[in-house]
């Protein structure tokens, strides 16, 4: 019956697959036998109908892979619509009407009236014209605030639902392994626990808003050799298991993500898109994932065109389908005609088609897309939304606090509302990291201040490469940014009368002609703010971003020369970095009076930086990545065994200028009363606790970090690794008792036999201000027999914060734990953890 219409296929409202009393899986099972081969395969592809026909698109190799005839491609139905808002600047209301029309055409063209599932990018906000741009993921990590990230993701998700979008291609859970990689800016940091806890919070927010979260890039993408995009990943099985995979586990189990996107990487010679052991054996059989696996853009065709493991499109499709990729994105290619012919010839089993189809249809049923009477995009297209909001996965956007609800008129024409901007500002404030301060900050009133540097007056310096103005805007220069994005210069000028300015040089290029003017401006001032860093872009159009890799960690262009020249003036210099990766801050920058880091802090990052510089905001960010001292040395993160650190058997000192977790504030904190729970059974829990008091004169937030040190193990172990943290805001004089309840599962690692184990023996829990600044060491002994720890192991400690302005009087709150209570505690509307 392959390729033929089975009998009794007339769909109707009484069809079991329309019956909402059945489970989504049961509805999918009822529909699959009714579909022809062509109808089945049509549900396994996307179409990028809105891509630029000139070929100068926003993704690599788009021009030669995205030629489709709309009427032809939708005649049997359609699995996904690719980025209807995120391909070109379009007014949100007009885009909604266009999407509405497209969905109606799709439904009318196929026998079953099934609409497409719509996906968009949403890494730094809904990637649409005139939508709020939030700080980049490295800023999420710098905040150490999962609650705030969950709140941000929820707001992003609600705006997407109001626009008729069903799936978001975020978060990125790659753990940074080489800072030279251009996509470092998209990662949450270099630690798997930080990436996993923050990433799971993002997933909870997005999924809680009804949007399918897509974990990417599974797996190994950030471990590419030489930090080069798409380069082979140099990974051993332990690094894969203990560093790369845990964030994905956490986001699936603690966040509830319903989709996963494959990595472009090849691991030990096997491209992930063709790796059945990873996409099916691990993800589905071991981890019990039941959602969809979608291909990263063009990844299936790349099996033939780049990896050379398939001879043609049909063979590539067969490899990917067998490995476990359910949907080919961004547009129909190998899963189109080549796959149809492969099934008809017997090269690919139709059972593999049915397997993928059941997952796709199950998810569509969950989203309401199989419901009778489903209507597309009611909210922004100007139609009444209430009748279909619950069934369609679309939101009217008029609920209290929802993005489109604050202004029922303006809210229907844009995605950048006051509430979203306020949230973006809160995150930007929390993410600014003060690395050094000799007393020059905050800037004292009345001082003559100069501002120099190539990113000082550049609004785009605030945005990562997946922000719409950077990602799509360069192809449409006449449209403008669509947003108000004040530069650092604009914001500082509001607060510092008589601010002088000189750019000094460009971000890229070799022109040094402007350095003399910058030196003159700096010399004539009492203090100089020197802003250097990156300009994000795509595929060589920037210094950071996808396809914008670096050969070393020196500042791009002649910026290092500018820094040296300004420091040589003798004027106190506040060095501000706005960047997507940590650049080397070696001996030549030791003369800086202060150093601040902002990791693409979003459209209101300029304001947040100005507030920190002038003291209106107390900095509280912590480094999600180490800042190296040497720009030419091989980058190495803090997760290294003893021989990865400074030794007497090598002349290279890899000690960073500033370690992971480091960050200063304008107040002071005292840590006292550290204690642990004694012996630690290999299948039980222990406790680590400390009291933190704000001994300064202004409110501030301390980040209590808990690290594990395992001095003797059957495999080499990182000297320390993060296993818990708590962000604790405190008023002057206020104290809090922070208690971590830690299961022994958090001490597990991959042993010599390749299985994850908890091993008895001596360990230390270190209560720390950073990975290198230990406040208290708690020696413990894991007791009992060695045991295995599987996928059902505990992934987080429980963190309890007891607050008191005086001993014995306070409020207790659980601020993190295994079951999604991260961020439960708030003060003044700001999530504490």
pLDDT digits (tens, 9 = 90+) for 283-331: 999 999 999 999 999 999 999 999 999 999 999 999 999 999 999 999 9
CB 468 within 8 A of CB 92: no
Phi, psi of 777 (to 5 degrees): -110, 125
Mean pLDDT of the residues in the chain: 89
- The answer to whether the peptide bond before residue 330 is cis (omega within 30 degrees of 0) is yes
In this model, does residue 496 exceed pLDDT 80? yes
Closest CA to 279 of 626, 56, 291: 291
Strand partners, 566: none
Q: Classify 564 in phi/psi space as left (phi over 0), alpha (psi -120 to 50) or beta.
A: alpha
Using DSSP's 3-state secondary structure scheme, residue 634 falls into coil
Give Cβ neighbours of residue 477 (< 8 Å, ≥ 6 apart).
none
For residue 286, what are the CA distances in angstroms to 5, 236, 274, 289, 672? 37, 19, 18, 8, 43
Q: Alpha-carbon dihedral of residues 473, 476, 479, 482, nearest 10 degrees?
A: -10
What pLDDT does 74 receive?
A: 94
Nearest-angstrom CA–CA distance, 534 and 542: 8
In this model, does residue 388 exceed pLDDT 80? no
What pLDDT does 479 receive?
A: 81
Nearest-angstrom CA–CA distance, 561 and 397: 50
Phi, psi of 465 (to 5 degrees): -70, -20
CB 611 within 8 A of CB 585: no
What pLDDT does 477 receive?
A: 82
- The residue-averaged pLDDT of 683-703 equals 98
The pLDDT-based confidence of 478 (bands split at 50, 70, 90) is confident
Nearest-angstrom CA–CA distance, 523 and 195: 42
Nearest-angstrom CA–CA distance, 504 and 426: 31
CB 98 within 8 A of CB 148: no
Using DSSP's 3-state secondary structure scheme, residue 737 falls into strand
The pLDDT-based confidence of 50 (bands split at 50, 70, 90) is low
Q: Alpha-carbon dihedral of residues 145, 149, 150, 156, nearest 10 degrees?
A: 170
Q: Which residues of 592-620 are buried (b: 16+ CB within 10 A; e: fewer)?
A: bbbbbbbbbbbbbbbbbbbbbbbbebbbb
What pLDDT does 315 receive?
A: 97
CB 324 within 8 A of CB 359: no
Using DSSP's 3-state secondary structure scheme, residue 105 falls into helix
Nearest-angstrom CA–CA distance, 535 and 745: 42
- The residue-averaged pLDDT of 698-718 equals 97
CB 599 within 8 A of CB 624: yes
Encode pLDDT of 760-818 as tens digits. 999 999 999 999 999 999 999 999 999 999 999 999 999 999 997 544 444 556 666 65
Closest CA to 76 of 21, 103, 39, 49: 39
What pLDDT does 379 receive?
A: 61
Range with lowest mean pLDDT among 42-46, 591-595, 801-805:
801-805
- The answer to whether the peptide bond before residue 368 is cis (omega within 30 degrees of 0) is no
Phi, psi of 27 (to 5 degrees): -65, -40
The pair of structure tokens assigned to 72 is: 């032809």
Q: Which helix (H) or strand (E) holds 436?
A: strand 433-437
Nearest-angstrom CA–CA distance, 743 and 798: 9
Q: Which helix (H) or strand (E) holds 609?
A: helix 605-614
In this structure, are strands 527-533 and 756-758 parallel, antiparallel, or unpaired? unpaired
Nearest-angstrom CA–CA distance, 767 and 775: 6
CB 717 within 8 A of CB 729: no
Closest CA to 370 of 43, 624, 595: 43
Using DSSP's 3-state secondary structure scheme, residue 539 falls into coil
What's this model's pTM, rounded to 2 decimal places? 0.92
Q: In this structure, is the dihedral angle defined by the CA atoms of residues 348, 349, 355 and 361, taken in order, positive or negative?
A: positive
User: Could you identify the residue written with the tokens 């404030």?
Assistant: 429
Q: Which helix (H) or strand (E) holds 758?
A: strand 756-758
In this model, does residue 157 exceed pLDDT 50? yes
CB 395 within 8 A of CB 162: yes
- The residue-averaged pLDDT of 740-757 equals 97
In this model, does residue 178 exceed pLDDT 60? yes
Q: How many CA atoms lie within 13 A of 276 on its CB side?
A: 6
What pLDDT does 91 receive?
A: 82
What's the angle, vertex CA 773, arms to CA 767 and CA 776, rounded to 5?
35
Q: Which is more confidently placed, 504 or 812?
A: 504
- The residue-averaged pLDDT of 9-19 equals 72
Give Cβ neighbours of residue 594 (< 8 Å, ≥ 6 apart).
434, 436, 437, 438, 440, 441, 573, 574, 575
DSSP label of 278 = I
Q: Alpha-carbon dihedral of residues 755, 757, 763, 766, nearest 10 degrees?
A: 80
In this model, does residue 582 exceed pLDDT 90? yes
Encode pLDDT of 519-555 as tens digits. 999 999 999 999 999 999 999 999 999 999 999 999 9
Three-state SS for 304-362 is: HHCCCCCCCHHHHHHHHHHHCCCEECCCCCCCCHHHHHHHHCCCCCHHHHHHHHHHHHH
């Amino acid at each position: 019956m392959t390729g033929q219409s089975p009998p009794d296929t007339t769909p109707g409202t009484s069809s079991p697959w329309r019956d909402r009393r059945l489970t989504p899986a049961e509805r999918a099972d009822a529909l699959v036998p009714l579909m022809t081969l062509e109808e089945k395969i049509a549900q396994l592809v996307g179409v990028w109908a809105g891509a630029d026909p000139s070929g100068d698109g926003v993704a690599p190799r788009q021009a030669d892979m995205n030629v489709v005839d709309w009427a032809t491609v939708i005649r049997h139905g359609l699995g996904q619509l690719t980025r209807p808002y995120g391909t070109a600047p379009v007014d949100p209301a007009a885009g909604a009407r266009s999407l509405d029309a497209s969905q109606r055409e799709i439904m009318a063209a196929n026998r079953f009236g099934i609409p497409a599932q719509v996906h968009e990018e949403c890494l730094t906000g809904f990637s649409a014209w005139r939508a709020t741009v939030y700080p980049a993921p490295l800023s999420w990590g710098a905040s150490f605030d999962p609650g705030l990230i969950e709140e941000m993701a929820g707001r992003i998700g609600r705006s997407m639902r109001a626009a008729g979008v069903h799936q978001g291609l975020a978060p990125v859970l790659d753990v940074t392994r080489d800072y030279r990689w251009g996509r470092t800016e998209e990662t949450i940091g270099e630690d798997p626990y930080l990436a996993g806890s923050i990433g799971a919070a993002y997933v909870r927010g997005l999924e809680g808003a009804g949007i399918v979260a897509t974990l990417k890039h599974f797996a190994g993408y950030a471990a590419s050799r030489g930090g080069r995009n798409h380069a082979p990943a140099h990974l051993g099985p332990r690094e894969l298991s203990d560093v790369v995979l845990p964030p994905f586990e956490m986001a699936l189990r603690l966040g509830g993500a319903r989709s996963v996107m494959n990595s472009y990487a090849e691991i030990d010679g096997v491209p992930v898109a063709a790796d059945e052991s990873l996409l099916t054996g691990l993800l589905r059989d071991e981890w019990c994932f039941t959602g969809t696996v979608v291909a990263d853009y063009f990844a299936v065709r790349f099996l033939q065109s780049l990896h050379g493991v398939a001879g043609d499109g049909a063979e590539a499709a067969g490899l990917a389908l067998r490995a476990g990729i359910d949907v080919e994105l961004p547009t129909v290619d190998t899963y189109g005609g080549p796959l149809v012919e492969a099934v008809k010839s017997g090269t690919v089993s139709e059972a593999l088609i049915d397997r993928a189809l059941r997952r796709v249809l199950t998810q569509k049923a969950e989203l309401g897309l199989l419901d009778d009477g489903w209507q597309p995009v009611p909210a922004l297209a100007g139609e009444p939304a209430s009748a279909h909001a619950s069934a369609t996965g679309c939101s009217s956007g008029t609920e209290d606090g929802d993005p489109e609800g604050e202004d029922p008129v303006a809210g229907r024409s844009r995605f950048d509302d006051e509430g979203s901007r306020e949230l973006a500002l809160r995150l930007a404030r929390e993410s600014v990291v003060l690395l050094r301060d000799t007393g020059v900050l905050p800037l004292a009133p009345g001082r003559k201040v100069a501002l120099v540097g190539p990113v000082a007056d550049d609004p785009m310096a605030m945005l990562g490469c997946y922000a719409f103005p950077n990602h799509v805007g360069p192809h449409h220069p006449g449209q403008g940014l669509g947003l108000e994005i004040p530069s650092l210069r604009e914001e500082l000028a509001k607060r510092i009368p008589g601010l002088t300015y000189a750019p000094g040089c460009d971000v890229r290029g070799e022109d040094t002609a402007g350095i003399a003017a910058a030196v003159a401006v700096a010399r004539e001032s009492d203090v100089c703010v020197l802003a250097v860093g990156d300009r994000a872009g795509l595929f060589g159009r920037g210094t950071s971003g996808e396809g914008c890799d670096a050969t070393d960690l020196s500042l791009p262009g002649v910026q290092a020369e500018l820094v040296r020249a300004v420091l040589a003036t003798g004027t106190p210099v506040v060095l501000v970095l706005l960047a997507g990766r940590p650049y080397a801050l070696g001996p030549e920058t030791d003369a800086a009076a202060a150093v601040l880091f902002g990791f693409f802090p979003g459209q209101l990052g300029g304001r947040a930086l100005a507030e920190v510089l002038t003291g209106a905001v107390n900095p509280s960010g912590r480094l999600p990545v180490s800042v190296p001292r040497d720009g030419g040395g091989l980058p190495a993160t803090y997760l290294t065994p003893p021989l990865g650190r400074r030794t007497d058997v090598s002349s290279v000192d890899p000690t960073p200028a500033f370690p992971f977790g480091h960050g200063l504030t304008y107040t002071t904190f005292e840590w006292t009363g550290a204690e642990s729970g004694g012996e630690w059974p290999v299948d039980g829990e222990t406790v680590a606790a400390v009291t933190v008091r704000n001994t300064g004169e202004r409110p501030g937030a301390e980040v209590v970090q808990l690290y594990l040190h395992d001095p003797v193990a059957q495999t080499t172990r990182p000297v320390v690794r993060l296993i818990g943290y708590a962000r604790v805001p405190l008023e002057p004089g206020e104290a809090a008792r922070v208690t971590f309840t830690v299961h022994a599962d958090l001490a597990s690692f991959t042993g010599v036999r390749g299985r994850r184990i908890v091993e008895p023996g001596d360990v230390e829990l270190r209560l720390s201000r950073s990975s290198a600044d230990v406040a208290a060491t708690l020696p413990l002994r894991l007791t009992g027999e060695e045991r295995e720890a599987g996928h059902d192991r505990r992934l987080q400690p429980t963190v309890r914060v007891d607050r008191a302005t005086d001993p014995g009087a306070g409020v207790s709150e659980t601020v993190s734990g295994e079951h999604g209570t991260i961020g439960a505690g708030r003060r003044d509307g700001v999530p504490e953890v």
